[in-house]
Structure 1
Amino acid sequence: MPRTPRPMTPAQKRATTAPASPRRAAIIAIAITVALVTALAAIIVTTLNRPAPLALRAQAPTGELVTAETNRLSDPAEPAVTVVEFVDFECPACGDWHPVVSDLVARYGDRVEFAYRHLPLPVHGNAIAAALALEGAAAQDEATAMYDLLYDTQAEWGGQAADSQAGTFRGYAEQLGLDIDAYDAVVADPATLDRVSTDAADAGALGIRSTPTFVIDGEVVTLSSYDELESRIAAALGE
């Protein structure tokens, strides 16, 4: 036989229906306000302490295709032809061209000067950081090693959140056995960003807006295939 519930006492009824006291409501309101203010303050502090996104600086073009600071993959004493590639290390197309260029350097590097300059595109959020990493390695005569490593690992870091891969690139510097303090100093030096920006300014002066773009003996060339680059080089050599 079901039990008949006991009727609630007056005290129990008051406990379940009486609204919170003004003092208790005030305490709850204060607690909520403090929590919101604390959360807002944390957001503001995090935002203020967050480094500014990397961006190229306005620089005047040098008017030169190859400068004293330009990195080279080959440097013959008396080059018969000069090939300059404007690169973005996060650009998938540049990554596809990397083995092609490496092969041409191996076969023509004794007669052809192969150089590359930076053109980090806005669409690639870690391209500037990669360029700075390359320059950090170049300061210790390891530009080519970093150049190859950045392309060989592009699938691992490319396409990640903007400016999120500086630690990855620093790890590459350690992997290459670089002096990390010296590497850090070069990467953080505003002059290094200026150097990268100057490369981009020279690209703009030539009307170059995409990567990879090749310039052979001062002529910006449009290529329809990998083989065409070798054909253009052979033609410039008179072969």
Structure 2
Amino acid sequence: MQKKDYSASQDSTSKLTPKLSEDRKDLFKKATIWGGLILASVAGLALLIILAQRGGTPQTPIEKANLPPVTEADITSGKAEGNVVLIEYADFQCPACATYNPMLKTLEGEYPDNLKIVYRIFPLNTHKNAESSAYAAYAAWKMGNFVDMKDLLYDNQGDWSGENDPTTIFIEYAKDIGLNSSDFEKVMKSKEAKNFVSEDKAEAVNLGLNATPSFFLGKKQIFPRNIDDFRILINAEIEKIN
């Protein structure tokens, strides 16, 4: 049997090897460059996010001449006759509202002689239990314990947000804060509660709001990112009044 000669193929392979090697080196070099650029971009984006969270200037307050005046019908906490009025349009299923809630409680303690907080309810359509939680908050307010109900709703969002009907959970909250459960349920399901929430929501829409929480100080919409932003704005308002 005649032995097959591989010399030709070996020669051609040896000629191709340097070319393949150079191509691979070039490909590796390009991949390294692009990989470095991508990592740099990601790192840069992360840095921008960190800087945005730590520093910068909050958005300039916007005058809202059509902001409805505060009346006795509003849900309030803090100093009843406070000369600095902070208004929040809130959704009790809103995670951001839950994040801001401890800040507002801290501010009440820091400005006991000046600060009055007004809570207006703005249930967003994207939150399926926003309206039912709003009715629960309203019922608790009518029965004299809005603040504790508000805190329970925010602190336990994960327990009721996904429920098809969270009414029984809200009734348990009412019991926990010392409210009569049957009276609470009656007020929560009343036409009065629905009308109150609908009016607050209509006000928010008329103001052009589309997100919660939305804050107002005086007649101006403010955009605090943290508690220090609140303090700066409140202190400026106190100085202006005095």
User: What is the TM-score with the length of structure 1 in the denominator?
Assistant: 0.69
Tell me if the contact between 1:82 and 1:217 (Cα under 8 Å) persists in the aligned partners.
Answer: yes
The residue matched to 2:239 in structure 1 has which SS? coil
Q: Map residues 163-174 of structure 1 onto 2, 5 A cutoff.
A: 163-174=164-175
Which residue in the other structure is 1:187 paired with? 188
Tell me if the contact between 1:118 and 1:131 (Cα under 8 Å) persists in the aligned partners.
Answer: yes
**1:184-208 CA distance string (max 9 Å, x none):** 1111111211101111111112221
Tell me if the contact between 1:134 and 1:147 (Cα under 8 Å) persists in the aligned partners.
Answer: yes
**1:136-176 CA distance string (max 9 Å, x none):** 11111011111111112123223x04x42111111101111
Tell me if the contact between 2:68 and 2:203 (Cα under 8 Å) persists in the aligned partners.
Answer: yes
- For structure 2, the 5+ residue unaligned runs are 1-65
User: What is the TM-score with the length of structure 2 in the denominator?
Assistant: 0.68
**1:71-104 CA distance string (max 9 Å, x none):** 1121333x22110001101100001111111100
Alpha carbons of 1:109 and 1:155: their partners in 2 closer, same or farther (altered >3 Å)?
farther
The residue matched to 2:118 in structure 1 has which SS? strand
Q: Give the AA of the match of 1:75.
A: K
Q: Are 2:65 and 1:64 equivalent residues in the alignment?
A: no
Alpha carbons of 1:67 and 1:76: their partners in 2 closer, same or farther (altered >3 Å)?
closer
Q: Map residues 1-12 of structure 1 onto 2, 5 A cutoff.
A: none
Which residue in the other structure is 1:75 paired with? 79
The residue matched to 2:126 in structure 1 has which SS? coil
The residue matched to 2:134 in structure 1 has which SS? helix
Alpha carbons of 1:129 and 1:196: their partners in 2 closer, same or farther (altered >3 Å)?
same
Q: Give the AA of the match of 1:107.
A: E
Determine the C-alpha separation between the residues in 2 that align with 1:217 and 1:129: 29
RMSD: 1.7
- For structure 1, the 5+ residue unaligned runs are 1-61
Which residue in the other structure is 2:145 paired with? 142
Q: Map residues 1-239 of structure 1 onto 2, 5 A cutoff.
A: 64-77=68-81, 79-158=82-161, 160-161=162-163, 163-238=164-239
Which residue in the other structure is 1:40 paired with? none
How far does residue 134 in structure 1 lie from its aligned partner after superposition?
0.8
Determine the C-alpha separation between the residues in 1 that align with 2:225 and 2:140: 32
Tell me if the contact between 2:67 and 2:219 (Cα under 8 Å) persists in the aligned partners.
Answer: no
Aligned length: 175
Determine the C-alpha separation between the residues in 2 that align with 1:127 and 1:144: 17
Alpha carbons of 1:228 and 1:63: their partners in 2 closer, same or farther (altered >3 Å)?
closer
Tell me if the contact between 1:76 and 1:111 (Cα under 8 Å) persists in the aligned partners.
Answer: no
The residue matched to 1:86 in structure 2 has which SS? strand
The residue matched to 1:132 in structure 2 has which SS? helix
Tell me if the contact between 1:82 and 1:113 (Cα under 8 Å) persists in the aligned partners.
Answer: yes
Alpha carbons of 1:65 and 1:174: their partners in 2 closer, same or farther (altered >3 Å)?
same
Q: Give the AA of the match of 1:124.
A: H
Determine the C-alpha separation between the residues in 1 that align with 2:235 and 2:84: 9
